[in-house]
Structure 1
């Protein structure tokens, strides 16, 4: 059975990524997922349409080797529309500049910036050299409000997410009619990352109490709510009309 729309997704194991995968699969969109660990629940529910690749996106050499193979091009072959959802991301290191271990900085830049940009370029290149008419390519970077507002202790996270926003803006200026791109902030979502934030000492993240209050007052969006809005926008005719967006401002 042909699948006219296919999606590549990173970080599908839990939280927002798992919810995005579930939304796509529920619409009979075949998904190729990249993550360090598998999602057994989704695999059991969608054995025909979910393919999982065990890959640590912090290992850029391993990612480059995988992209040099033919798995991606074979997955995209025959698709009329290809979706790339760059969801995987890490928060650490958190703290002032002098308290940021270089290895953690390197990992954050690899996962949050280098991997998404490498995947975006590879998907676009594979689409461009496909036989016949190139499939429409839609790229989502899962960004953050931290890309657009600076927070003390989050200089690496803010900088890496801002890089995704700028990448989307610049790619949009390329004017390729076959490529639509948007860097989308998903809102404040009740995920493991939020739990990680609430576990950080005030000395490293002075604004932590604001996030404590969001959890306490029930103001965090569920992964399912944010995923539904993001996927709905991704598949809509208006996707990519602006290079950055926020799910809280989407209809």
Structure 2
């Protein structure tokens, strides 16, 4: 049995990843950590006769993460592989930093960086006794490297996620049974975050037209296409050797 723990499966990449996994012929279980349930995934699991477990969790409530992970691992037995995909993220606030409120900054950094760090820590701790394939895929963004005005929170949280990934990779290389980890820039995808950024007023985000034009020209990837590439990356034999994968489309498959 392969177990996939995925954050943010209510829509977008997380939902597409869960669908791809549930449609696989192999025996697997999708474990969802999300604020909202997804009836479509539950129905698909029932049709495909696969296991789908939903754990309601708001990643801003960091004190609840360890309890959820502990509960999850109490039900993991005879694992062939265990995988954590830190996918959930928020975009707001998108505005010059002086317009960002204290609450917005704290919520953003907690969701995009602190919670993935806690999840990773807990995952590694609980898998230390498992003799199986163990991997973590962190969904980052090109915004970590290519900076734009009005995205100081988003760029900072994703850059922090990349640095965290590299640090954990260094630690795990010294282990006898390491957890392989990588951070990836998935590209520009038509998700809720993209719709959100296209609706930002130009006074708050002067370059909003670039995202609007990319959408109008049909340059955005679909969530399903991206999910397929992400899973190919996750299971590549060299996964983790390159800690930061900047070009998903050209990554080793």
Same fold (TM over 0.5): yes
In the alignment, is residue 225 of structure 1 matched against residue 222 of structure 2? no
**Which ranges of 4 or more aligned residues in structure 1 deviate by more than 4 Å?**
none
SS at the partner of 1:226?
A: helix
Once the two structures are TM-superposed, the CA of residue 129 in structure 1 deviates from its matched residue by 3.0
- Is 1:52 paired with 2:49? no
Q: TM-score, normalised by structure 1?
A: 0.93
Q: Aligned match of 1:162 in 127, 139, 159?
A: 159
- Residue 76 of structure 1 contacts residue 127 of structure 1 at CA under 8 Å; is this kept in 2? no
* Distance apart, 1:156 and its partner CA: 0.3
Q: Distance in 1 between matches of 2:163 and 2:89?
A: 17
How far off is 1:78 after superposition? 2.1
Unpaired segments of 5 or more residues in structure 1? none
Q: How does 1:190-229 map to 2 (within 5 A)?
A: 190-229=190-229
- 2:119 counterpart residue number: 119
How many residues are matched?
A: 243
Match of 2:170 in 1: 173
The alignment yields a C-alpha RMSD, in angstroms, of 1.3
- Mapped to 1, the partners of 2:196 and 2:62 lie a distance apart of 25
Q: CA deviation at 1:80?
A: 2.3
How far apart are the structure 1 equivalents of 2:84 and 2:3? 9
1:37 aligns with 2:39: no
Distance in 2, Cα, partners of 1:162 & 1:136: 27
Instruction: Give the whole-Å Cα distance in 1 for the aligned partners of 2:146 and 2:63.
Output: 32
Separation of aligned partners in 2, 1:212 and 1:24 = 32
46-55 or 178-187: bigger deviation: 46-55
- Give SS of 1:13's match: coil
Please name the residue that 2:129 is paired with.
Answer: 129
Corresponding residue for residue 247 of structure 1: 248
| TM-score, normalised relative to structure 2 | 0.92
State the partner residue of 1:62: 64
Return the alpha-carbon distance in structure 1 between the equivalents of residues 68 and 72 of structure 2: 8
Report if the CA contact (8 A) 1:188-1:221 is conserved: yes
Structure 2 CA distance for partners of 1:205 and 1:75, relative to 1, 3 Å:
farther
**Offset of 1:173 from its aligned partner?**
1.1
Per the alignment, do residues 185 and 75 of structure 1 end up closer, same or farther by CA in structure 2, a change over 3 Å counting?
farther
